[in-house]
Amino acid sequence: MSADLQVIVIGAGIAGASTAFALARRGIAVTIIDDGAAGQATAASAGIILPWSTDNEGAFYELYAAGAAFYPQLLELLADAGVTRTDYRRTGGLVVNADPAKLDAVQQRVIARKATAGEVVGDIERLDNAAARELFPPLGPDLDAVFISGGGRVDGRTMRDALLQAAVGSGARRLTGRATVERAADDHDRPRVRLAGELLTADAVVVTAGAWSRDLLNAYGYVAPVQPQKGQISQLRVSDDTTRWPTVHPISHHYLVAFDEGRLAVGATRETGSGFDTRITAAGQLRVLRDALSIAPGLADATLIETRVGLRPLADDLPVAGAVPESPGLYVATGYGAGGLTMGPVIGDAVARSILGEDAREIAAITPVWHS
């Protein structure tokens, strides 16, 4: 496709912002539409970049690892666009547990993966409790750790805003409102987008609306294998200097992520089947704080700042990304679950390359099962 291509991106979370920036920096005319719906996952997410310790295998892990490897390049591209604040930092990750056998398994897995992932993984070191608490002082007294120095963290809101700023600076325009996708009368024609009664046309439409993506594809008769999964995540404040504290992972669903100025994100619930419920619940709040204090009792006196709720786009298996079958000009990027801030940028860049007819190997390996 030529450089005078026009693309509409529906959804301005991490995937949409990444897709828009990837297209705009290549000189493509991009329109970004977002309705600011409550519960957008990017705005609530903690932003852990540590794919190598996961027990996921196959195509999911490969995409997860590709996302982490893409971050240094992404930061350079943003800097070239004049955007430098992303709140991304490589502070390392602590995988903690009281069971030495579980830590052995994690350490061996990360060492094996470093052989293909490369130096982005950093150093891999086994730490006793005293050494682990030097890195993360609130940690409980019975937990040892595997430290992975290449692990990073990023603030979802800041990274999203950085990508959108860079996209607009590269020529993209932003519109606000609830968009719908309409199928043209001729199946060979490109999809159309309706916004506030106005019909917008483009050469390609990319649906990156997270958990809401499923509804946007209704006109095409496809049901994307994605559903909302509610996540409640709390923000705490401590008086310590948390700038260099690593992320903490107890080989479970929960985690702790330290940001600057004494702020920590702790969570999160994984409420599958939640629908689009964005309420902070008593049970959810209790679960988040109980999980956090079970691994970091030193946070008992921390100030609770707020609790955020995000609706993760949870897929049946793999993320859903690329061209929608038998639908010329229609693309999608969603279904990355809790891995959005790691996978979103590389998925967005790959979708942009796919639209332009370029190599998009990162998403070529994931073939979603569409239902009609």
pLDDT of residue 285: 97
pLDDT at 33 > cutoff 80:
yes
Q: What average pLDDT is seen over the chain? A: 94
- pTM comes to 0.95
pLDDT of residue 188: 64
Three-state SS for 158-189 is: HHHHHHHHHHHHCCCEEEECCEEEECCCCCCC
Whether 353 and 22 have beta carbons less than 8 Å apart is answered as yes
12, 17, 125: which is closest to 74 by C-alpha? 17
% of the chain with per-residue pLDDT over 90: 87
pLDDT at 1 > cutoff 50:
no
> What domains can be seen in the chain, in order of their start residue?
6-43+157-225+316-364 (3.50.50.60), 90-152+227-315 (3.30.9.10)
pLDDT at 2 > cutoff 90:
no
Whether 189 and 328 have beta carbons less than 8 Å apart is answered as yes
SS3 55: coil
pLDDT at 332 > cutoff 60:
yes
Q: In what order do the strands lie in the sheet with 192-195?
A: 179-182, 192-195, 198-201
- How far is Cα 158 from Cα 258, in angstroms, rounded to an integer? 15
pLDDT tens, 281-323?
Answer: 999 999 999 999 999 999 999 999 999 999 999 998 899 999 9
Q: What is the DSSP letter of 351?
A: H
pLDDT at 277 > cutoff 80:
yes
pLDDT tens, 92-145?
Answer: 999 999 999 999 999 999 999 999 999 999 999 999 999 999 999 999 999 999
pLDDT tens, 180-235?
Answer: 999 877 756 889 999 999 999 999 999 999 999 999 988 888 888 899 999 999 99
